[in-house]
Amino acid sequence: MAQQISRNVLTIIGTGGMAMAIARRLGSGRRLLLADYSEANLNAALAILKGEGYAAEGMEVDVLNAESVNKLAAFAASTGRIDAIVHTAGVSPVTSTAKQVFEIELLRTAHVIDAFYPHVSSGTSLVCISSMAGHMDMGRISPGLERHLALSSTEQLLQHEEIKMDAKVDPGMIYVTAKRGNHVRVQAAAHQWGGKGARINTVSPGVISTPMGAAELKGDSGSAMMGMIGLSGARRIGTPDEISSVVAFLVGMDSSFITGNDILLDGGTVSAWKWNTPPRQK
């Protein structure tokens, strides 16, 4: 009887374009656990990856439900040593309400950090996919709100006077606040994770060629997004493979001194937006 080979576990939350690129880049030689809210999307992704030879399995997860994420983390740990967790699940600000953006973009990251922490060990790396939007707050996020986003309990995370979920709030600023929340939440968690020899970082993509990115380009914000692409130093859209390359770096030992940080992968959009356009009013 063939001996079962023990493999380190790579958990990827989400099944979109970035998630699949990351799975292909990092999945070889690892036990690949893919998680998603949609059973149909999960099964389709697993069929592709298994057909390409990856040792992949799946689990449905609701990132808004802490217990659901806890079950995912416990299952991942039961199958082997957790080598890496990559959290890609998110929503588009173009097609989502303020409530959905705040809940999914803020709570999802907090739930993943909380759920996986008990199961990580020396060398484990968590990478949360955020957005360049988290760098575009123009000073409109108060120090008090930023501290709340970083340090409040998960149960209290959405309870702050500056977090408003009504339709009158600027949807762009809602997304900026949520993504900045991702950054500072990860920064604040790095100290605790370091006590176990584990690391935690974010990656902030710009406009990337994924189905979600394509939908945003076709939507009401499409012209503004094309303007940002034209303004950027790279003057093009990024690719999922470019995201997976940075994630691979953060998961590997070449980045062992990097934790509690964000890597901005936007083709120079934020720097051009900050320094090569007229000053903005706060």
Q: How far apart are CA 232 and CA 225, in angstroms?
A: 11
Active site residues: 175, 179
Name the one residue in this structure whose structure tokens are 């030992």.
253
Opening angle at CA 122, ends 117 and 125, nearest 5: 60
Q: How far apart are CA 207 and CA 267, in angstroms?
A: 9
Distances, alpha carbon 72 to alpha carbons 13, 34, 35, in Å: 10, 10, 8
Q: How far apart are CA 205 and CA 214, in angstroms?
A: 14
Name the one residue in this structure whose structure tokens are 């001996």.
3
Q: How far apart are CA 86 and CA 14, in angstroms?
A: 9
Nearest to 109 by CA among 122, 124, 96, 91: 91
What are the b/e assignments for 59-86, b being 16+ CB within 10 Å? bebbbeebebbbbbbebbbeeebbbbbb
**Taking a C-beta distance cutoff of 8 angstroms, is the pair 129, 88 a contact?**
yes
DSSP letter (8 states) at residue 85? E
Name the one residue in this structure whose structure tokens are 């890496």.
84
Cross-strand pairs, 203? 129, 263
How many C-beta neighbours within 10 Å does residue 110 have? 23
Directed axis angle between helix 171-194 and helix 108-116, to 10°?
10
